[in-house]
Structure 1
Amino acid sequence: MANRSASHQSLSDLPSDLPRFLRQDRPTLVHSFNYLENLQRQRLTEQYENPETESEWARLTGDHIAYRNRYVNVEPFANNRIKLNVAEHFNDYINASPIALGPRRYIATQGPKNTSTSQFYRMLAQESTNDSATVVVMLTQTHEAGREKCFKYFPDSQDTPLGLLPDPDLDDGFEGTVELISSEEDPTCRCTVRHLRLRYRHSSAQQEEDGQWHEKEIKHLLFVGWPDFSVPEGENRNAMLNLIKKSATLNSPSAISAASSFPLDSSSASPTTNTPSPRIVHCSAGVGRSGTFIALDFLLAHLERGNLDSVPDDVDPILDTVNAMRKQRMMMVQSEAQFLFLYDVMRLAWLEHHRCEEAVS
């Protein structure tokens, strides 16, 4: 994909058949982002002002929740979170949210802490729905600007597997190892691709298949060209788009039906028996870079299938997608820069897609 930003191109110079949602100028898009921010404040305020009323935007509270969070202001909604399979009355919390966009499924989660690595692999084991490798996309460095953004939860050497010890806080007897099978650099994605193997068992009597060992293959894609709160620039942008394609290919995603339309209907997002395991996507907090990556994966798939060619003038698929994600996890696509980036990338992608079509015809 070309490096030149479509935002630097005059909107009046764009082709007449470019959908209206990709013709919006910067002030209009900033207004849309502020609209999403206001919606988010209203959702969170609704629960704060009416704590006795059950709300789909309810937030979890308590020390048993707070110490497992990386950031005090980012957590999943109580009604849309991954729950660890633990014994009754034990803490099932992990800072992770299932994200459903049409038939595509993801898990957006914070970068593991040193105290939550075992919980992360518990989640991975229980949420993997088939025998194919689970794909994990990591969009942060372990440290940025002198601060830890994510604990190094994977082995770098085949000689030093990562041990997972039973966690007394969970009482599920989960234990195992994470082994590095192979590692390679992918220059087109500017990422490190690690093939990991998780071997685990539940040694607790609370679990079925007591004591049996299981294995799970993991494809771990580490991309470090994306600064926190910002967007990838230059060749890192091209690499990130290649990373989206690679992660989708490794995950063998369900096809998006040509009948899919916008606004998104969350009722059609239920997984089917043929749906692959959700891609696990995380940065540091699991909202900004993670949300932007997920939105682009979904929108670019629609673009490739021609579903964005005849979008009504009063529909904005990008706005609808971000809003749909924020209903499932707060702050998804966290910054204004990331929101504008979605339009910039999608505009360029639309132009290049149709330029290729013209060349073929």
Structure 2
Amino acid sequence: MESISSRFRRTKKASPTTPPSGVLSGSPPDKSSSESKLDPVGRRESLPTLTIPTTNARNDLPSKSPFRQRFHFRHSHKRARSPTPATLPVPASPAVASQDSAVELGRSTPASAIEDKGEKEMIKETPKPRIPAFLTQSQQDIEAKFHELNWAERFRLQESANNTSPSFKFARVTAPETKILDRYANIQPWANNRVRLQVPDGHLDYINASPITLRSPLDPQSKPPHRYIAMQGPKSGTIDHVWRMVVEQLKSPAVIVMLTETHEGGMEKCFPYFPRTIEEEPWVIGEEDEFGDGFHAEIKCVDIEEHADGAIEVRKLNINVEGREDDMTVWHLLYRRWPDFGVPALEDIDSFFELMRLSKEKNASEDNPRVIHCSAGVGRSGTFMALEHLMREIDSGDVDRLEIDANRGGEDIVYKTVDALREQRKQMVQAEPQYLFIYQVLRKLWLDKHGLTEQDIREEPAAKRLEVDFDPFLDDQRS
């Protein structure tokens, strides 16, 4: 994860006047063209196209790396075409590889011995890799896929309303006594994919939390799955339930990632369910013995650290469970820079990657689920899971095989992953900007992995591309 994060700290700027070798230039963007598209219910709508430009069309000055400036979008009604890799001149004479790995023409002497400048320019370069097709989609196509995901979820909900069998995969939680335990009336786990508290028979075993398993969409056999528990932000009456779940479901050391502040915009998003300072007396869990099984525990904050200039608060919590010899360690990671229904700001991307790194590093093992929660446990939580899961496919290089395999070239692993999340918990990756954010980050990671910029893969004609004006990262996108 450190290698990925470091790529976002320095990005080589593209030249403002001369495109790199093999890249063609084009005419200015055409703002007048338009194209409409049918949405899932037959309405015709115009959607913007996704592009991360590298130059400023207004003054022709080089722009900063897309992750060091704002992403801006102006609505364009033409779809961007998939960029075609630039082709380089092929030398007429045979190439010979020398001992210092330089490729030369018709000779075996070291590259430093080639004095003829013209001959050097003819040295064959390695072709640029082809960017996976799912990362070249227009913004309107990405938005259309998000609408498809929403329709698929509506159909699941309709099926669950019509099929009252408790064994139905998407059966709903119907017990009326659960409602007081939910933070939001429309956010509940699927009845057959929820964490069940280990309580005596006859007691309610409900907690608003869902086990999540994500297997590699490209190589599920050779990579271990990512395991999480997606949980709502606890309420005042569910604190004991949360810590009971942690003790029952996780191994020590365990990790909880909190992606919301306790209050945002004057509203409670999550009740403060953990001791915030080392000076606080230990919290007592199960004092009222709600389930009549004698479960009691004490939670103590033993250490606090700040990371990423205060973006992350790391607490080391110690849990002493009555009747157990060994204490349990829980690392509580509070991320403070992610607005509800939005995405992290560009200047916070590095801290977001640091959060991912810490959550993996401090966890007992890969098969030990990490608890991820925001307020509802679906929007920010789902985005975190999907992005972390798919970043592994970029880092391993497996996404590059999509363009080699003719049978899978058009596969969209973002859509596939979010759909898999929603089959396990409703409304995961809840907001459209969050869904778009996943593509944007993965595209940037892919470019950085291969040492490329947007200009390197710029398509022709340039008139098909977008100009810059709208910022999906920093806009107040609440719904």
- Structure 2 partner of 1:172: 293
- 8 A contact 1:101–1:298 mirrored in 2: yes
Q: Tell me how far apart the structure 1 counterparts of residues 244 and 267 of structure 2 sit (CA, whole Å).
A: 26
- Structure 1 partner of 2:338: 226
Q: What does the per-residue CA deviation read over 1:287-342, in whole Å, with 9 as the maximum and x for residues that have no partner? A: 00000001111111221111211223221111100001100000000011110111
Q: Tell me how far apart the structure 1 counterparts of residues 384 and 84 of structure 2 sit (CA, whole Å).
A: 27
Q: What root-mean-square deviation, in Å, do the aligned CA atoms of Structure 1 and Structure 2 show?
A: 2.1
Stretch of structure 1 that moved more, 309-318 or 99-108: 309-318
Q: Tell me how far apart the structure 2 counterparts of residues 90 and 113 of structure 1 sit (CA, whole Å).
A: 19
2:227 to 68, 80, 105: 105
- Structure 2 partner of 1:46: 159
Q: Structure 1: give runs of 5+ residues left out of the alignment.
A: 202-210, 255-274, 357-361
- Structure 2 partner of 1:196: 317
Q: Give, in angstroms, the shift of residue 158 of structure 1.
A: 1.8
Q: From the two aligned structures, give the one with the greater helix fraction.
A: 1
Stretch of structure 1 that moved more, 286-295 or 14-23: 14-23
Q: Tell me how far apart the structure 2 counterparts of residues 279 and 109 of structure 1 sit (CA, whole Å).
A: 10
2:417 to 299, 305, 321: 321
Q: Tell me how far apart the structure 2 counterparts of residues 51 and 241 of structure 1 sit (CA, whole Å).
A: 42
Confirm or deny that 1:185 pairs with 2:281. Answer: no
Confirm or deny that 1:3 pairs with 2:116. Answer: no
Q: Give, in angstroms, the shift of residue 63 of structure 1.
A: 2.7
Confirm or deny that 1:146 pairs with 2:266. Answer: yes
- 8 A contact 2:283–2:298 mirrored in 1: yes
- Structure 2 partner of 1:264: none
- 8 A contact 2:254–2:364 mirrored in 1: no
- Structure 2 partner of 1:333: 429
Q: Give, in angstroms, the shift of residue 6 of structure 1.
A: 6.6
Q: Give, in angstroms, the shift of residue 12 of structure 1.
A: 6.5
Q: Tell me how far apart the structure 1 counterparts of residues 337 and 161 of structure 2 sit (CA, whole Å).
A: 37
Q: Map residues 1-361 of structure 1 onto 2, 5 A cutoff.
A: 1=8, 2-4=67-69, 16=85, 17-52=130-165, 54-102=167-215, 103-129=225-251, 131=252, 133-160=253-280, 161-187=282-308, 190-201=311-322, 211-251=323-363, 254=366, 275=367, 277-311=368-402, 312-355=408-451
* Residue identity in the other structure for 2:446: W
- 8 A contact 1:296–1:342 mirrored in 2: yes
- Structure 2 partner of 1:272: none
Rg larger in structure: 2
Question: TM-score when scaled to structure 2?
Answer: 0.64
- 8 A contact 1:75–1:95 mirrored in 2: yes
- 8 A contact 1:189–1:242 mirrored in 2: no
Q: Tell me how far apart the structure 2 counterparts of residues 216 and 81 of structure 1 sit (CA, whole Å).
A: 23
Question: TM-score when scaled to structure 1?
Answer: 0.84
- 8 A contact 2:261–2:269 mirrored in 1: yes
Give the length in aligned residue pairs.
324
Identity value in percent: 38
In structure 2, relative to structure 1, the CA distance for the partners of 1:189 and 1:99 (3 Å cut) is farther
* Residue identity in the other structure for 2:172: R
Q: Give, in angstroms, the shift of residue 355 of structure 1.
A: 1.1
SS of the aligned residue for 2:291 comes to coil
In structure 2, relative to structure 1, the CA distance for the partners of 1:47 and 1:222 (3 Å cut) is same
- 8 A contact 1:75–1:330 mirrored in 2: yes
- 8 A contact 1:189–1:239 mirrored in 2: no
Q: Tell me how far apart the structure 2 counterparts of residues 324 and 184 of structure 1 sit (CA, whole Å).
A: 35
* Residue identity in the other structure for 2:259: L
Q: Give, in angstroms, the shift of residue 36 of structure 1.
A: 0.4
- 8 A contact 1:325–1:332 mirrored in 2: yes
* Residue identity in the other structure for 2:381: S
Q: Structure 2: give runs of 5+ residues left out of the alignment.
A: 1-7, 9-66, 86-129, 216-224, 403-407, 453-479
- 8 A contact 2:341–2:434 mirrored in 1: yes
- 8 A contact 1:106–1:281 mirrored in 2: yes
In structure 2, relative to structure 1, the CA distance for the partners of 1:352 and 1:56 (3 Å cut) is same
Q: Tell me how far apart the structure 1 counterparts of residues 207 and 227 of structure 2 sit (CA, whole Å).
A: 18
* Residue identity in the other structure for 2:401: S
Q: Give, in angstroms, the shift of residue 55 of structure 1.
A: 1.5
SS of the aligned residue for 1:136 comes to strand
Q: Tell me how far apart the structure 1 counterparts of residues 229 and 205 of structure 2 sit (CA, whole Å).
A: 16
Q: Give, in angstroms, the shift of residue 215 of structure 1.
A: 1.5
